């Protein structure tokens, strides 16, 4: 990449310029990471078909204003054949005057400081006049989203049908704040972030130009901290060079970026995951002592958990929020954790951050959140509890098929069995097992009637004799037989009897409860409690929906 000639100073003045200015691109070929933008603009210049208004968007420091200046010079350059070489020559009078910011036909305006409608009216009035010494009048409006609503409205008509000699180039970091009526009148380009590898190569190139030695790991740290911004990367490099003694090392870059404190945060997160209570408390106290804000601490932990989650999903993820110098360590930690564990850590920290924000003493709230994380990190996952749970009272019931959508006319296919003997051996052995079986099939109406309105007379696998009370529908036996045959592939005889039969399952359960209550009341402690609280009674507490789930 070539450097821009120093137009503003005489050879006698030794002016220091930051790298972002010193190595600012002066031609399209030098624009880093913007291949699509360069291709469209250069092709448009060659064909003479550039639009009258161009909108450049993207994060800070990726080349929006630089692109606008190169384009302004290319439009007015007289030192080359534009159809053959779209890049400005840099030597003609037009390129020289634009480079020195003294070309009367190229007007650069900062919308952050000139936001009013009067400023736009001045542009509209001057746009009527032809350029003095150039082919085009070029208006470069930086941070265009800062213009007032009335200023945008005043610009609309001229923006839609400008004079043939006028070009507008807008730049903004917040395109969502630009009215859609303005966007629709522009050719829009979203400049891309610099990827990590591109930024590393660029910083290494600048170091060679400046004859500065830099460790590869230091360059990586600086590039990652720049977060896709070329200007931020060069500014950090300038700072690292000023801090170092002729050589930029990983240690000096780490100290400059504050990664020493961030490294403590990463150590804290590892201790939390391991469930080491005392080391965690010591690290939290150490961070407090160096001035770390409790809310900032929780925010940083959230960023690290997010980064570990990305690395857990993909080892190639760019988890820039993890400040570990050795990212292999971060990848190993991420791969050792399960997604449920990471999700639990995220949820607890996020909820704890909201609690700390409203707590009277945020430091105490932060400690409580971190201790909650310590103990939560050692809890077994739900899946492991299911897998390791001992099997108790398991009933051998044929595997249920997926229940169809009641809104669709589908029939449930019976489960295939190998033989009648095998099918018979898998049948429910008792009526209670039949009811449990129906419960598993999610037939709530049939289940309710079997529990509350059916008196069992006799039961054998494949045959049920019952008496129905007045609340049970007469179609219940037929429906029960159909369901049992459908799910077991065995014919069932469900017979209605006139015999009294047994109490319903609900009545049997109530009898058991009364017996248990009576036995419980005989306990000396319970008897004293009942005596101390006249009118008190023993009751069973039904589980809540959440507990049952």
Region of poorest pLDDT, from 104-118, 253-267, 471-485: 253-267
Q: Report the range of poorest mean pLDDT among 132-146, 381-395, 454-468, 529-543.
A: 381-395
What is the model's pLDDT at position 175?
93
* pLDDT band, residue 392 (cuts 50/70/90): very low
Answer whether residue 34 shows pLDDT above 80.
yes
What's residue 325's pLDDT? 52
pLDDT band at 236 (very low <50, low <70, confident <90, very high): very high
DSSP 176: G
DSSP character string of 412-429: PPPPP-S-HHHHHHTS-S
* pLDDT score recorded for residue 461: 86
The CA-atom distances, in angstroms, between 61 and each of 177, 183, 473 are 19, 22, 76
- Return the pLDDT at 412: 40
Read off the pLDDT of residues 319-344 as tens digits, 9 standing for 90 and up.
665 655 567 788 888 888 888 889 98
Helices 294-313 and 259-274, packing angle to 10 deg: 70
Token pair of 8 as six digits: 């503003």
Task: Supply the pLDDT for residue 321.
Answer: 57
What integer pLDDT is reported at residue 10 of this predicted model? 43
Query: How far is 115 from 150, CA to CA, in rounded Å?
Result: 9
pLDDT over 50 (residue 267): yes
Q: How confident is the model at residue 352 (pLDDT cuts 50, 70, 90)?
A: very high
Give pLDDT, residue 534. Answer: 65
Nearest to 446 by CA among 406, 473, 417, 408: 473
Confidence of residue 348 (pLDDT cuts 50, 70, 90): very high
**For position 544, what pLDDT does the model report?**
42
Q: At 54, is the pLDDT very low, low, confident or very high (cuts 50, 70, 90)?
A: very high
pLDDT reading at 160 higher than 60: yes
State the average pLDDT for the chain.
82
- SS3 at position 107: strand
What is the pLDDT averaged over residues 161-170?
A: 93
Q: How confident is the model at residue 231 (pLDDT cuts 50, 70, 90)?
A: very high
Contact 1, 23 (CB under 8 A): yes
Q: How far apart are CA 34 and CA 64, in angstroms?
A: 10
Over residues 12-24, the mean pLDDT reads 78
- Partners of residue 464 on adjacent β-strands: 459, 494
Confidence of residue 316 (pLDDT cuts 50, 70, 90): low
The pLDDT-based confidence of 484 (bands split at 50, 70, 90) is: confident
| Residue 86 confidence (pLDDT) | 84
**Planar angle of CA 262, 264, 269, nearest 5 degrees:** 95
Beta bridge partners of 53: 168
Confidence of residue 532 (pLDDT cuts 50, 70, 90): low
Short-list 172, 186, 182, CA closest to 141: 172
Chain centroid to Cα 505, Å, comes to 51
Query: For residues 269 and 304, is the Cβ–Cβ distance under 8 A?
Result: yes
> Residue 404's pLDDT is what?
42
For 90-126, how does the pLDDT look when each residue is reduced to its tens digit (9 = 90+)? 889 999 999 888 899 999 999 988 888 998 999 999 9
Return the SS3 of 321: coil
Give the pLDDT confidence score for residue 180 in this predicted structure. 93
Question: What pLDDT is stored for residue 120 in this prediction?
Answer: 92
- Residue 408 pLDDT greater than 80, yes or no: no
CA distance 412 to 14: 88
- Mean pLDDT for 36-64 is 90
């Amino acid at each position: 990449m070539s450097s821009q000639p120093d137009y503003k100073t005489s050879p006698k003045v030794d002016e220091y310029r930051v790298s972002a200015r010193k190595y600012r691109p002066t031609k399209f070929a030098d624009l880093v990471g913007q291949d699509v933008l360069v291709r469209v603009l250069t092709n448009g210049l060659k064909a003479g078909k550039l639009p009258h208004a161009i909108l450049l968007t993207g994060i800070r420091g990726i080349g929006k204003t630089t692109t606008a200046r190169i384009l302004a010079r290319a439009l007015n350059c007289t030192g080359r054949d534009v159809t053959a070489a779209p890049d400005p020559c840099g030597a003609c009078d037009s390129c020289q005057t634009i480079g020195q910011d003294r070309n009367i036909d190229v007007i650069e305006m900062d919308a952050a400081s000139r936001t009013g409608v009067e400023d736009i009216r001045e542009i509209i009035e001057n746009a009527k006049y032809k350029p003095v010494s150039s082919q085009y009048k070029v208006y470069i409006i930086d941070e265009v989203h800062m213009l007032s609503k009335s200023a945008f409205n005043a610009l609309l008509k001229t923006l839609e049908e400008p004079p043939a000699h006028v070009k507008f180039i807008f730049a903004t970091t917040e395109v969502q704040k630009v009215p859609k009526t303005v966007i629709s009148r522009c050719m829009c380009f979203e400049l891309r972030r610099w990827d990590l590898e591109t930024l590393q190569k660029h910083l290494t190139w600048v170091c060679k130009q400046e004859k500065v030695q830099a460790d590869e790991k230091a360059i990586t740290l600086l590039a990652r901290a720049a977060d896709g911004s070329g200007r931020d990367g060069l500014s950090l490099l300038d700072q690292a060079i000023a801090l170092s003694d002729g050589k930029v090392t990983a240690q000096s870059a780490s100290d400059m970026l504050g990664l020493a404190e961030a490294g403590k945060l990463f150590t804290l997160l590892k201790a939390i995951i391991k469930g080491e209570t005392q080391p965690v408390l010591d690290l939290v106290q150490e961070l407090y002592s160096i001035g770390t804000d409790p809310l900032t601490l929780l925010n940083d932990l959230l960023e690290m958990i997010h980064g570990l989650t990305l690395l857990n999903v993909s080892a190639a993820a760019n988890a820039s929020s993890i400040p570990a110098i050795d990212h292999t360590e971060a990848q190993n930690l991420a791969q050792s954790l399960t997604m449920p564990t990471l999700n639990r850590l995220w949820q607890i920290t996020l909820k704890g951050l909201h609690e700390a924000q409203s707590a009277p003493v945020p430091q105490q709230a932060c400690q409580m959140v971190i201790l909650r994380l310590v103990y939560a990190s050692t809890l077994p996952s739900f899946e492991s509890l299911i897998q390791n749970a001992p099997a108790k009272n398991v009933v051998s019931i044929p595997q249920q098929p997926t229940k169809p959508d009641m809104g669709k006319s589908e029939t449930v296919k019976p489960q295939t069995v190998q033989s009648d003997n095998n099918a018979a051996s898998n049948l429910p052995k008792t009526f209670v097992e039949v009811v449990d079986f129906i419960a598993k099939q999610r037939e709530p109406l049939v289940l309710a009637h079997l529990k509350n309105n059916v008196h069992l007379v006799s039961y054998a696998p494949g045959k049920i004799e019952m008496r129905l009370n007045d609340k049970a529908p007469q179609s219940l036996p037929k429906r029960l037989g159909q369901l049992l045959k459908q799910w077991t592939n065995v014919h069932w005889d469900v017979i209605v009897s006139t015999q009294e039969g047994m109490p319903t399952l609900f009545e049997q359960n109530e009898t058991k409860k009364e017996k248990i209550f009576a036995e419980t009341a005989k306990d000396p402690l319970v008897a004293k409690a009942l005596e101390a609280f006249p009118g008190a009674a023993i009751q069973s507490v039904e589980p809540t929906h959440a507990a049952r789930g």
